[in-house]
Chain A
Amino acid sequence: MTWVVPASLRKDRGGARPFARVLVANRGEIAVRILRACRELAIETVAVYSDADADAAHVQMADRAVRLGPAPATESYLRADAIVAAALQTGAQAIHPGYGFLAERASFARATEDAGLVFIGPSSATIATLGDKVAARRSAAGAGVPILPGTLEPFDVDAPAAVEAIRVAAEQIGYPLLVKAAAGGGGRGMRRVEQPKELAAALAAGAAEARAAFGDGAVYIEREIHPARHIEVQLLGDGAGTIVALGERDCSLQRRHQKLVEEAPAPLLGEEQRLGLHEMAVRAARAVGLVNAATAEFLFDRDRRFWFLEINTRLQVEHGVTELVAGVDIVREQLWLAAGYPLADRVIAAAERASRPTRHAIEVRLSAEDPAREFAPTPGTIDRWELPSGPGIRVDTAAGPGTTVVADYDPLIAKLMVVDETRDAAIDRLSRALDETTITGIQTTLPFHRFIATDARFRAADLSIDWVDGTWAAIGHERRRAALVVAGEVAAAVVGRDLALDPPRATSAQSARPSARPEATGEGVPARRPRGSAIEPGPSAWSRVGRTAAVDRWPR
């Protein structure tokens, strides 16, 4: 499909646009998100797709689309050569990698640069430095940013001398500790070690997993912080060396290192603490000469200290909550920065306000995963798809009714974000938004989010990164079982006496049992409360009686 690209009438930047044509090397909601930013800047767009995505939303939305290959990512979205060729062939000037796939491959950034195109993100040299997690730790430590106690050199566990050296280092660091892959994150290659006797096995297992995932079995060890919150800082940098922090996000609700809920700002931090955190993140970024967008990740311990984890050299999934609070479109700024423009004054002003946030945003990741089965993937075809709208709601998605969620890619189907003046108000808004959400055809993570939105511990910001793994299974089991009882009632009522010999019309479902309902006269509806009377919490009898009356009065 080709849309007519309007000439930009913008008055900022003298009506200029950063690029004439950009290729988006991704799929799903993030491809759509980036295409939208391009359209707003009157940039022509090129999408790429696999055979599984020939009719996908990002293909429909782009001005042109280039097929990469069959569904498996290794034959499509991970083919750096095919993507660079597609950009050259379609006359794109720049490539936006999104997140995942090739976004943090230094080799892809370098291939883009070598082809004379602009890689929309940090330089290939920065990506290479920060992709080596041990080098990133050394660099942060050199900049005076506190890093977790651990080793600063990667170990090759096949060398007996190295294993002995790790054992000595582990004694100094103290147990429990974590074995981590030097070449990458995402929890792959990570092993928890509680006692010295477990160390050798954990090193071997971690190295094997790291080799399988990253082609490099080098590992390092780090003290485990427990309990801890995950807090990260959004960074933007320009070619002139100006780097700013746009605010922080709390992403403590994770399961096995996959984030489920993110919010901005991080709750329970004071202005001084925010300033200190933002300043540390900027220092760590300056040490590696960061340009464009990146995120510095920290752990926050019980003694309210921050520990540097790593810097991700890409647009994060959860960038939207920062946009809602800071009032800055991060993808748009990425495009300007990639074209060589300096950070705009209003972005610098937003960064200066970031330690005194006046809004609160929360994102939940709706994924095709079953929260009752350890979040196992649930690919399939979406049937009903009703997502919330109204004040303070943002939904980023590439899915809709009839969309097939395939097993080849990430299970994220929509990011639901809410923003309000305070955290309490944002949670109430989230709860309302989730009530408006209906998805059928596949199981999603909606039950988990519905629980979180009403949970007292979440409301109290009593968060830690291992909370979901330790607590959710039992809660989820109970809640699912309760829902099954209600679902059984619904099924019996819908199918009814005749066992659907005559399939019931969806609108005429009746309870299978006679039920004593009030007459549809409005009698029994309590009169309006006198002024000044206390309002009791919870739903009043009015909602019950009034609703029944309305249902009976209105045509079906």
Chain B
Amino acid sequence: MTSRLLVAPTPSSVLPGDAAVEFDLDGPARAEIEPAGPGTVIVRARPTDDPAANPLGAAPIRGVFAPPRRSAGRVVTVEVVVDGWRFELVVEDAARARLRRRATRVPDATGASGPTEIRAIIPGRVAAIHVVAGDVVEAGQSLLVVEAMKMQNELRTSHPGTVERVVVGEGETIDNGDLLVVLR
């Protein structure tokens, strides 16, 4: 039995600033969730003095979800849409999640970060590549351009580094989540 769950957006759904949230199934509920038809619930925030606990206001809000998909290692992915925003969320046992993260993290006493993998956030075609391995890039610098739906979408790095590897080539078709560039 699991009583603490960790919920976090998947890599294809996460945006900078998104945090994983821990839920204590035995603790006090922050919201009431009622079924309201197939794959649909009504979420009512519990009355509270803390406005942060009630971000969408006091009115009930509809949430819809797809059947959860269970992958290896007791990790469940579920698509949830609230207020039109679509999230793919990973739900797992909080204790296991901590163990798994510790196991996969590269031990590094200095605290310096390892390589950063930059992945596709939209499917499309690589229209242009602006960097090669060895290039030093600054935060905000354009790495490549992905063409999708008749628009050119520039992919910029959010932090500085050195290009270790460019994984894709010009003209290549890419999918959501595909590895594009590795920075260190």
Check B23 against A377 for contact (C-beta < 8 Å).
no
CB atoms of B83 and A483 under 8 A apart: yes
Interface-located stretch among A54-62, A260-268, A422-430, A494-502: A494-502
Tell me the residues in window 53-101 of chain B with beta carbons closer than 8 Å to chain A beta carbons.
Answer: 55-56, 59-68, 70, 74-76, 78-87, 89, 91-93
Decide if A172 is an interface residue (CB 8 Å cutoff).
Answer: no
A372-B78 contact, Cβ under 8 Å, with A442-B86, A513-B25, A551-B36: no
Q: Is B111 among interface residues, defined by CB-CB distance under 8 A?
A: no
Which one of A409, A449, A487, A538 contacts B82 once the chains associate, using CB atoms below 8 Å? A487
9 residue pairs, one from A and one from B, having the closest CB atoms: A482-B55, A446-B84, A513-B29, A447-B84, A377-B149, A483-B85, A511-B33, A487-B80, A490-B63
Q: Which residue of B lies closest to A502 (CB)?
A: B70
Interface positions of A (Cβ within 8 A of B): 73, 368, 372-373, 376-380, 383-384, 407-411, 434-435, 437-450, 477, 479-501, 503-504, 506-515, 517, 538-539, 543-544, 547-548, 551, 556
Q: List 17 A-B contacts (CB under 8 A).
A: A407-B148, A409-B149, A439-B84, A444-B86, A447-B84, A450-B84, A479-B83, A481-B17, A487-B87, A489-B23, A491-B91, A495-B78, A495-B91, A499-B74, A504-B68, A507-B35, A511-B31
Would you call B91 and A510 a contact (CB within 8 A)? no
Distance of A493 Cα from B75 Cα, bound (Å): 15
How many cross-chain pairs have Cβ atoms below 8 Å apart between A and B?
Answer: 224
User: Are A447 and B83 within 8 A (Cβ)?
Assistant: yes
The interface residues of chain B lying within 8 Å CB-to-CB of A484 are 9, 18, 82, 85, 87
| CB closest chain-B residue, reference A379 | B123
Given contacts A377-B124, A511-B32, contact A487 B63 (CB under 8 A): yes
Q: Quick check: A410 and B150 within 8 Å, CB to CB? A: yes
* Bound Cα distance from A446 to B42, whole angstroms: 18
By beta carbon, the residue of chain B nearest A443 is B86
Asked if A379 and B148 sit within 8 Å, CB to CB, the answer is yes
Please determine whether B68 and A486 come into contact, CB atoms closer than 8 angstroms: no
* A493, B63: Cα distance in complex, Å: 11
Among A411, A450, A489, A500, chain B packs the most CB atoms within 10 A around the CB of A489
Min CB–CB distance B172 → chain A (angstroms): 13
Q: Are A487 and B85 in contact (CB under 8 A)?
A: yes
Known interface pairs A495-B78, A503-B68; A407-B149 also in contact (CB < 8 Å): yes
Inter-subunit contact A376/B153 (CB<8 Å): yes
Q: Provided the pairs A484-B9, A497-B25 are in contact, do residues A377 and B122 lie with their beta carbons within 8 angstroms?
A: yes
B162 to chain A, nearest CB (A): 26
Q: A379-B122, A407-B149 given as contacts; is B55 within 8 A of A485 (CB)?
A: yes
CA distance A376 to B70 in the complex (A): 29
Q: B25–A512 contact, CB under 8 A?
A: yes
Q: Given A411-B149, A486-B82, A512-B23, A491 and B89 touching (CB < 8 A)?
A: yes
Chain B interface, number of residues (Cβ within 8 angstroms): 72
Closest chain-A Cβ to B69's Cβ sits at a distance in Å of 8
Once the chains are docked, how many angstroms separate the CA of A434 from the CA of B65?
A: 17
Distance from A428 Cβ to chain B, minimum over Cβ atoms (Å): 15
Q: For residue A500, which residues in chain B have a CB less than 8 angstroms away from its CB?
A: 68, 70, 76, 91
CA distance A509 to B3 in the complex (A): 17
Bound Cα distance A44, B78 (Å): 46
Residues in chain B within 8 A of chain A (CB atoms):
1-3, 5, 7, 9, 15, 17-18, 21, 23, 25-44, 55-56, 59-68, 70, 74-76, 78-87, 89, 91-93, 121-125, 148-151, 153, 176
- Nearest chain-B residue to A449 (Cβ)? B84
Assembled-state Cα–Cα distance A441/B2 (Å): 29
Determine the distance from Cα of A55 to Cα of B123 in the docked complex, in whole angstroms: 21
In the complex, the answer to whether A440 meets B78 with C-beta atoms within 8 Å is: no
A491-B80, A492-B23, A551-B34 as given contacts; A378 in contact with B122, CB under 8 Å: yes
In the complex, which residue of chain A has the Cβ closest to the Cβ of B25?
A: A512
Q: A487-B80, A491-B91 are in contact. Are A513 and B28 (CB under 8 A)?
A: yes
Q: In the bound complex, how far is the Cα of B68 from the Cα of A498, in angstroms? A: 12
> How far is it, in angstroms, between the C-alpha of A448 and the C-alpha of B83 when the chains are bound?
9
Contact A488 B23 (CB under 8 A): yes
Q: Which residues of A contact B26 (CB under 8 A)?
A: 513
User: Which A-chain residue is minimally distant from B81 (CB atoms)?
Assistant: A440
B27–A513 contact, CB under 8 A? yes
Contact assessment for B79 and A440 in the assembled complex, using a CB-CB cutoff below 8 Å = yes
Please measure, in the bound complex, the distance between the C-alpha atom of A282 and the C-alpha atom of B30, giving whole angstroms.
Answer: 60
Among B34, B60, B67, the one with the most A-chain Cβ atoms within 10 Å of its Cβ is B34
B150: chain A residues at CB < 8 Å are 73, 409-410
Among residues of B, the one whose C-beta sits closest to the C-beta of A367 is: B149
Q: Give CA–CA (A143, B126) in the complex, Å.
A: 47
Residue in chain A with minimal CB distance to B55: A482
Asked if B34 and A491 make an inter-chain contact with CB atoms under 8 angstroms apart, the answer reads no
Contacting B21 at CB < 8 Å: which of A368, A378, A485, A512? Answer: A485
